[in-house]
Amino acid sequence: MFEIQPLQLIQCLIACLSGGVGTYLMMPHRRQFAKPGLVFAIGLGLILFAAGQLMMLGGSPTPIVSKVFFNIFAIASVVASALMITARDPVHSALWFAVVVLSTSGLFLLAGAGFLAAGTVIVYAGAIIVTFLFVIMLAQSEGKAVYDRLARQPAQATVTGFILIWCLLIVILSNPGNTYFQSGSNSSASLAPRLIPAKDLVNYKRLTATNPTYMVMGKTLTPEITLPDTIQATLPAGIPQPHVAGLGAAMYTTHLISSELVGAILFVALAGAVVIATPRVGGESS
């Protein structure tokens, strides 16, 4: 299970420790005073150091242009995420969140996942964070609230967060089937097969019972994806399946149940919002 090299283990440890200490130093003070700039700078430096360690763990893409952009996006996303949780002004927090989302979609783009990148920007940066900004601005027009200016239990929160990061790193590095993080290949040709194997939340071995419903479900979970001939015919020979078509096919064959579940949950949330927002008959609001 844990086929991890000792050097990588040590690097993980250093990265997590320095990142954790850095984040703690950057957190707002308990007693609402601003921290001195030096402490903040040391914290930022430690986080940058941690980001550098993490980047040494995985390779970066090969062409020099991709490498430059990969480094820019990777550092930007790590630093912006640290600034996002430590900013004292919630509007600044929301803006750093936007920077995190944008640089993450830059990384998606470098990995050949253009659809995912555009979708992330549209949904998160374009809609969700704007709604956050909206709410923050409407909620507090004057001054910052106390709960924004001080961090409650910064030490415990930091430790918990970085234990989670540590676990994720160990799992990613020790998973032998995962080639992306270790080799750093970025061509879209190698990406296509990676999209397809289903580690679905539904364990479909359990579904292959004699029940006809389960048999239908089992068929929808078959991990073979073929594009319809109408689309396949338009592709030049030798070019891998286009990302969008591959993603769509994966979503509606391999991951059908997950997508349907997500759709149902969102629909329930929508219905709930309408019920809550609708004024009651005979109530005080008209």
Partner 1 sequence: MLLEILGLLIKISLVVGITQGAVAYLILVERKIAAFAQDRVGPNRVGPLGLLQPIVDGVKMFLKEDVTPNYVNKPIFILAPFLTIVTAMIGFAVVPFGPVGPNGPVLMDGPIQFQIAPGIDIGILYIFAVGSLAVYGIILAGYASNNKYSFLGGIRSSAQLISYEIPMGMSILGMVLLVGSLDLNSIIEWQSKHVWGILVQPLGFFIFLICAFAETNRLPFDLPESEQELVGGFHTEYSSMKFGMFFLGEYLHVITVSYLVVILFFGGWDIPFVTDSAQTGWIFAMIKVAAMLGKVLLMIVFVMWIRWTLPRFRYDRLMELAWKRMIPLAIANMVVTATVLQLVRG
Residues in contact with partner 1 by CB under 8 A are 91, 95, 98, 105, 114-115, 117-119, 121-122, 125-127, 130-131, 133-134, 137-138, 141, 230-231, 234, 242-244
Smaller CB distance to partner 1: residue 80 or 95?
A: 95
Question: How far is Cα 34 from Cα 153, in angstroms, rounded to an integer?
Answer: 17
Task: Supply 50's token pair.
Answer: 């941690």
Q: Is the dihedral of CA 202, 203, 204, 207 positive or negative?
A: negative
What backbone phi and psi angles, to 5 degrees, belong to 151? Answer: -95, 130
What is the nearest approach in angstroms of partner 1 to the Cβ of residue 203? 32
Question: How far is Cα 243 from Cα 229, in angstroms, rounded to an integer?
Answer: 16
Smaller CB distance to partner 1: residue 76 or 125?
A: 125
Place of tokens 């990969």: 70
What is the nearest approach in angstroms of partner 1 to the Cβ of residue 240? 11
Smaller CB distance to partner 1: residue 131 or 278?
A: 131
What is the nearest approach in angstroms of partner 1 to the Cβ of residue 248? 11
What backbone phi and psi angles, to 5 degrees, belong to 187? Answer: -75, 150
Smaller CB distance to partner 1: residue 163 or 244?
A: 244
What is the nearest approach in angstroms of partner 1 to the Cβ of residue 7? 35
- Contact call for residues 121 and 98 (beta carbons, < 8 A): no
What is the nearest approach in angstroms of partner 1 to the Cβ of residue 138? 7
Burial class for 78, CB neighbours closer than 10 Å (0-12, 13-18, 19+): buried
Smaller CB distance to partner 1: residue 228 or 282?
A: 228
